[in-house]
Amino acid sequence: MIRQLIFRFFAAAVLLCLFTQAKASTASYTATNVCEGSNTLFQSTSTASSGTITQWLWDFDYDGQFDDGVGQNVNYVFPTSGTFLVGLRITTDLNETVQSYNTVVINPVAVASFLAPEVCAGNSTSFADNSTIAAPGNIAAYSWDFDNNGSYDNGTGSTIQHQFAGAGTYVVGLKVTSDSGCVSVTHGSVIVNPNPTANFSFTEVCQGDSTHLTGSGTVTSGSIVSYAWELNGDALYNDATGASIYNEFINAGNYQVGLRVATNQGCTNDTVGLVVIAPIPYINYSFDGACTNAPISFTNLSFSGVGTMSYTWNFGDTTATSSDVNPTHIYSNPGEHTITLIGISSYGCSDTTSQNIIINGTPISEFTAADVCHGATTEFNNSAKPNGSVIESYYWNFDDGGESVETNPVHTYNQPGTYTVMLVTYSTQGCIDTVEVDVNVWANPVANIVATSATEFCIGGSVTLTIDPGNANLLWSNASDKDSITVDASGSYNVLLYDEHGCKDRDTIVVTVYQLPNVIAGPDTAISAGFSAQLWATGAQDYVWTPSDYLDQTNIAEPTSTPLQTITYTATGTDLNGCINSDTLTVTVNYDYTLVTYNLFSPNSDGVNDFFEVMNLQLYPDCEVIVYNRLGSPVFASMGYQNNWNGTYNGEPLPDATYYYVIKCTGTEKVFTGPISILR
């Protein structure tokens, strides 16, 4: 078959060569080098000697029939890998036909496969490549994906090991690449079997008893198939088998015991624990004190070595018992008593001991003390009783840092309050008794007069004096027993407070009442309209004048008034104590046509004395002003003159000279005349 293919190939090549020489047209193409199963792209590179190529026919199965594809560029998938002869026939629009065959190589793709045994959690899984590839291909690279994320970046090589995080079934991917770049991928499940849990418990026993050991194990998949024990410390799990065993340990102490649990999948787990063999406990105790009515403390000296202990005390005087570790007990009667202590460990091991105790009589502490007000001395009256003993000494604690050893002491407290005073009575046999009594040192009431306003004020004012009596009664110096009094006279006012305990306090406040100032505004006065009146006030420190009409200032003692009509002013004065009084005066304004003229003005437009002025003329609008020159000719005339003539006549400045004015007013027979000079 191969010989026939080769012959047919060379025959076709000879014919194609002869045809090309004759026709000079070529049938040629390019083909992509691909892997098995992929499209091979064929692209015609044929040329025509004349005319245009109109048809491209392809023969992919080398059967001499160009019926496997049509077109200048076509895709074809070969059924297997290998070397194939592919033919192309072209036809031009001049009916010229040319064909040729060339070889095309399809590279083999490997069949990816791997082997992986089951392992137990914590062990590495060994992966071995089991991939194959058809000749002449070779596998050039292996890439592994252990975390199933699609990236083959967890390892390389045909054999590899990997430890997974825990038990479970994992999907592992293998990508193999051939020497021609063809890639094959496969995935497989890898099983990591779980390890079992191992545990055991044991009975708590005393020395000489057998210990019951109970093993247990669990596993998330599979089953527990065996239990093996290590009991003698040689690290070999061959001393006993089974989930439940008994063993007698010779001596008391701690024994290290091991248990190995195995599953049907061959996975194991070990656990080690201490088995305690309890000793017989040691029971003993001590005590301090031996007095009636006083707590006696018992100190437990027992120990068991292991576990916990529980105790039962019998104090030998009543049926009362105690289970405290270190109890206290009070004996009411003196004499000898037998104390028994039974101790039992948590392992059930027990022992007992007894001792005798002699109880002595105890004195009884008693005292009284009267309550006092703060500042007074407290006296303490000792009434302690021997109660069958001989009293030797006393100790007092006054609860403020003070102490005494006197029989009947006295003490002064620096602060009020309730103090818990302690008396300790000592007998000659060392027995003591303590008593505590509350002693009151009453706080004195606090007398504090509060003025609701100033205590210094002027006649006509008053102030209310108030005190908060709290729980106390009160009495003012004016014989009032009210919380508040209102006073309007100078003097010293005091109050006495006293409470239900007889404690007292006083307070005093001084009230000062000032006289009003003798304000004098001055006598009434009269002026001509347009003139000023000088006012003055005396008798105070500061002044305010009202109304403010026509005044140059309102807050001085001597203001100036220039009224246009008769007016009455009030001067209000304030002295250094803030007391206020006032007085009035009237300024009478007379409209008597008193005019004042100036006999010189300088109308040079410098803003100074530029106009002929007649003082007060504005008050009399019915007055006529006429100015004559020395020849008797009028140069200016105005009815209701407004002090606005600037020395001009018909708009022209008059020469410097002396002129004469005549002023006549309706309502008076007075005629005002005189010279007026212009000097520029």
Give SS3 for 10: helix
Residues in the chain: 680
- pLDDT tens string 164-173: 999 999 999 9
Give SS3 for 65: coil
State the pLDDT at residue 32. 92
Q: Provide the CATH number for the domain formed by 450-514 in this structure.
A: 2.60.40.10
Provide the whole-model pTM. Answer: 0.41
Mean of pLDDT values over 601-628: 91
Residue type, 351: D
Is the pLDDT assigned to residue 18 strictly greater than 50? no
Residue type, 118: E
Q: Which residue has the tokens 């407070």?
A: 497
State the pLDDT at residue 470. 63
Cβ neighbors of 7 (< 8 A, separation 6 or more) are none
For residue 213 the two structure tokens come to 């050991």
Residue type, 262: A
Q: Provide the CATH number for the domain formed by 285-359 in this structure.
A: 2.60.40.10
Integer CA distances (angstroms), 173 to 144, 176, 177, 186, in order? 6, 10, 13, 6
Integer CA distances (angstroms), 147 to 72, 176, 251, in order? 47, 17, 54
In this structure, the dihedral spanned by the alpha carbons of residues 71, 72, 73 and 75, taken in order and rounded to 10 degrees, is 40
Is the pLDDT assigned to residue 469 strictly greater than 80? no
In whole angstroms, give the CA distance from residue 326 to residue 527. Answer: 116
In whole angstroms, give the CA distance from residue 457 to residue 620. Answer: 52
Name the band, by pLDDT with cuts 50, 70 and 90, for residue 207: confident
Residues 539 and 509 sit within 8 Å (Cβ to Cβ): no
State the pLDDT at residue 15. 38
For residue 603 the two structure tokens come to 């109308």
Beta-sheet strands, E only, within 25-65: 29-31, 34-35, 40-44, 53-59
Is the pLDDT assigned to residue 276 strictly greater than 90? no
Which range among 127-131, 318-322, 384-388, 552-556 shows the weakest confidence by mean pLDDT?
318-322
In this structure, the dihedral spanned by the alpha carbons of residues 612, 616, 622 and 628, taken in order and rounded to 10 degrees, is -30
State the pLDDT at residue 551. 96
In whole angstroms, give the CA distance from residue 323 to residue 310. Answer: 7
In whole angstroms, give the CA distance from residue 559 to residue 553. Answer: 6
DSSP assignments along 509-552, one per residue? EEEEEEPPP--B----EEEETT--EE---BSSSEEEEES-TTBS
Q: How many CA atoms lie within 13 A of 338 on its CB side?
A: 3
Residues 255 and 274 sit within 8 Å (Cβ to Cβ): yes
State the pLDDT at residue 597. 87
Name the average pLDDT for the chain: 91
Residues 484 and 508 sit within 8 Å (Cβ to Cβ): no
State the pLDDT at residue 441. 97
In whole angstroms, give the CA distance from residue 484 to residue 8. Answer: 143
Q: Does domain 197-278 have CATH number 2.60.40.10?
A: yes
In whole angstroms, give the CA distance from residue 51 to residue 97. Answer: 12
Is the pLDDT assigned to residue 5 strictly greater than 50? no
From the candidate CATH numbers 3.30.70.260, 2.60.40.10, 2.60.120.10, 3.30.43.10, the one assigned to the domain spanning 114-193: 2.60.40.10
Name the band, by pLDDT with cuts 50, 70 and 90, for residue 3: very low
Q: What is the DSSP letter of 316?
A: S
In whole angstroms, give the CA distance from residue 280 to residue 304. Answer: 7
Name the nearest CA neighbour of 668 among 589, 588, 591. Answer: 591
State the pLDDT at residue 205. 86
Residue type, 93: D
Residue type, 607: G
In whole angstroms, give the CA distance from residue 525 to residue 533. Answer: 8
State the pLDDT at residue 4. 37
Is the pLDDT assigned to residue 339 strictly greater than 90? yes
Is the pLDDT assigned to residue 534 strictly greater than 50? yes
Q: Does domain 2-107 have CATH number 3.90.1150.10?
A: no
State the pLDDT at residue 617. 87
Which range among 10-19, 70-79, 233-242, 382-391 shows the weakest confidence by mean pLDDT?
10-19
Between CA 6 and CA 13, with CA 7 as vertex, the angle to 5 degrees is 90
Name the nearest CA neighbour of 143 among 108, 184, 191, 171. Answer: 184
Name the nearest CA neighbour of 559 among 573, 548, 574. Answer: 548
Percentage of the chain lying above the pLDDT 90 cut: 77
For residue 39 the two structure tokens come to 């499209």
From the candidate CATH numbers 1.20.1260, 2.30.29, 1.10.8, 2.60.40, the one assigned to the domain spanning 596-678: 2.60.40
Cβ neighbors of 296 (< 8 A, separation 6 or more) are 287, 288, 289, 290, 328, 329, 330, 331, 357
Residues 418 and 440 sit within 8 Å (Cβ to Cβ): yes
State the pLDDT at residue 472. 73
Element holding 13 (H helix, E strand):
helix 2-23
State the pLDDT at residue 471. 61
State the pLDDT at residue 60. 95
Name the nearest CA neighbour of 170 among 142, 156, 189, 184. Answer: 189
Residue 341, class by beta-carbon neighbours within 10 Å (0-12 exposed, 13-18 middle, 19+ buried)?
buried
* CATH architecture for the domain at 525-590: Sandwich (2.60)
In whole angstroms, give the CA distance from residue 204 to residue 342. Answer: 20
Integer CA distances (angstroms), 196 to 163, 214, 229, 265, 273, in order? 18, 16, 16, 10, 17
Question: 646: left (phi > 0), else alpha (psi -120 to 50), else beta?
Answer: alpha
Q: What is the DSSP letter of 618?
A: G
Is the pLDDT assigned to residue 518 strictly greater than 50? yes
Q: How many CA atoms lie within 13 A of 419 on its CB side?
A: 30
Q: What is the DSSP letter of 468?
A: -
Name the band, by pLDDT with cuts 50, 70 and 90, for residue 21: very low
Name the band, by pLDDT with cuts 50, 70 and 90, for residue 233: confident
Cβ neighbors of 482 (< 8 A, separation 6 or more) are 476
In whole angstroms, give the CA distance from residue 579 to residue 513. Answer: 10
Is the pLDDT assigned to residue 22 strictly greater than 80? no
Residues 260 and 198 sit within 8 Å (Cβ to Cβ): yes
Phi, psi of 21 (to 5 degrees): -65, -30
Class of domain 367-442: mainly beta
* Sequence ranges of the chain with CATH classification 2.60.40.10: 2-107, 114-193, 197-278, 285-359, 367-442, 450-514
State the pLDDT at residue 12. 42
- pLDDT tens string 159-205: 999 999 999 999 999 999 999 999 999 999 999 999 999 999 998 88
Give SS3 for 148: coil
**Segment of 278-287, 507-516, 592-601 carrying the highest mean pLDDT:** 507-516
